[in-house]
Structure 1
């Protein structure tokens, strides 16, 4: 991504744009369907003006007018939902999140989740289909969203998988084992090495770049 462009993936049928917000350097992702103009925003983390700039940037990404169809949240932690209430108030858009994090999101934001998600499901709007992958450990209901188009797989992993390791599990051996098992079984065992991982903070990686480190992660315990 250049310093002046939010566009990080320009696929035949979709674009993906990113904004980085707040002192926590949270990633916000906006997926636009080129044929329909429908959009899914992943993690309304903070800074509503930055989110609106993403919408502005994407106005030319579709052959028809663009419109936000869904706000998807990867997990309940406060730094990923600080702009959620303001965005829902501004747009009236329905929301989606992992079922086990719905109560936490209400507690943080006052926003009720429209669509409670589970592993192995699909979050779909007109022109966008995201596979939902439940990754238990960083939070009880953390969800990764997977967009597949032709030979491209994009995994929006939230705080469950990063370059160099899995997400924070509070120094709990049980939570660590749960998250690493889910990441291994539900991401590394389901998707190919060229799948791109787009995390909740920081830069992208691929499953292939991280796969050789899985035994080391398990041995070190974080």
Structure 2
């Protein structure tokens, strides 16, 4: 059974991160984009990747206060509803610093920025920001400390079965190195990987495949 599977257009899935924080996953748009609502027991929520279908995202948000919308990278299938959601909620938009200019150019939204090694905090929610260069220059992953397992939202940089698409060998080497050093080296096998499309997986499930990814170059 796929991990935390959600069909496009179907109801959201609830993931319990720890006693205080839930992660709610929904699939939107025509290419199975995942949007995630990080919802603490008290205080404002965080929406990750306002990808498409603003009306469904608004329904997901419901009566929650959303304090921030974080975009994992600049590609338009991850930003299609960004302007609408910012206008609806009044939330502060955020993204990886190297992708900010491109996001503003395509959406008209000026994002505050974070980058590798930053700690993003909103109320009781803390997210470790991980810069992953390769799919885009400014792609980020977001790590939530959980119980019993941590959770990392990887955008389009890491999926079940491989790293995200890159435009050439240099970009692949950059992304593969970042993934190995910043995700597989420090994180336990139980850490849950939540990608920008499709089902979740775990670090332990993917770790044995790293040599294959390196050999094939994708």
TM-score, normalised with respect to structure 2: 0.93
Cα offset for 1:212?
0.4
Q: How do 1:1-222 and structure 2 match up within 5 A?
A: 5-10=11-16, 11-34=18-41, 36-56=42-62, 66-114=64-112, 116-170=113-167, 172-222=168-218
Cα offset for 1:18?
1.1
Structure 1 stretches of 4+ moved >6 Å: none
Cα offset for 1:151?
2.6
Question: Closer, same or farther in 2 for the Cα pair 1:106/1:145, shift >3 Å?
Answer: same
In the alignment, structure 2 segments of 5+ residues that lack a partner are none
Contact 1:161-1:167 within 8 A present in 2 as well: yes
SS in structure 2 at match of 1:29: strand
- Number of matched residues? 211
Cα offset for 1:52?
1.2
Distance 1:5 1:208 in 2: 28
Distance 2:159 2:15 in 1: 18
Cα offset for 1:122?
1.0
Question: Closer, same or farther in 2 for the Cα pair 1:124/1:88, shift >3 Å?
Answer: same
Q: What is the CA RMSD across the aligned residues, in angstroms?
A: 1.4
Cα offset for 1:91?
1.5
Contact 2:13-2:26 within 8 A present in 1 as well: no
TM-score, normalised with respect to structure 1: 0.91
Superposed CA deviations along residues 48-77 of structure 1, whole A, max 9, x for unmatched, are 111112112xx5xxxxxx310110000000
SS in structure 1 at match of 2:129: strand
Cα offset for 1:44?
0.2
Distance 1:30 1:122 in 2: 18
Contact 2:142-2:152 within 8 A present in 1 as well: yes
Greater CA drift, 46-55 or 126-135 = 46-55
Contact 1:7-1:15 within 8 A present in 2 as well: no
Cα offset for 1:5?
4.7
Cα offset for 1:7?
3.2
Superposed CA deviations along residues 94-129 of structure 1, whole A, max 9, x for unmatched, are 011100000110111010002x11111111100100
In the alignment, structure 1 segments of 5+ residues that lack a partner are 60-65
